[in-house]
Amino acid sequence: MLVWYEQEGIVCGPVFCDERGNRVRAKQYEVEILTQLEWIQTNLDDLISPNVNVFEDMGIRRDFCRGSNGRAVSQEVSQTVIDLNNRWSVCE
């Protein structure tokens, strides 16, 4: 997504935004994203198990957060930084 944004000349701002660049909830794109994941499951072997019901078992909010946490751990980001990033509104 970052590569696509860069190609579009977008260098800062929210990931999920409307055509004017205003932030929108990721949930607004959930059907489109899950539809793409379902296509990946059907057409690309071994990426998403056929036992997974994409629309029932996956969700934008929890899966993106889990994915970013996993990436942060693999990059050896400290747990304190991960917690601050995920719970900034609680901490602040």
pLDDT in tens, 60-69: 765 555 556 6
Distance (Å, whole) CA 81 – CA 92: 14
Q: Which residues contact 84 (CB under 8 A, 6 or more apart)?
A: 91
pLDDT tens readout for residues 32-79: 888 998 999 999 988 888 888 888 877 776 555 555 666 667 778 788
Distance (Å, whole) CA 85 – CA 80: 9
* C-beta separation of 21 from 9 below 8 A: no
pLDDT tens readout for residues 12-22: 888 788 888 88
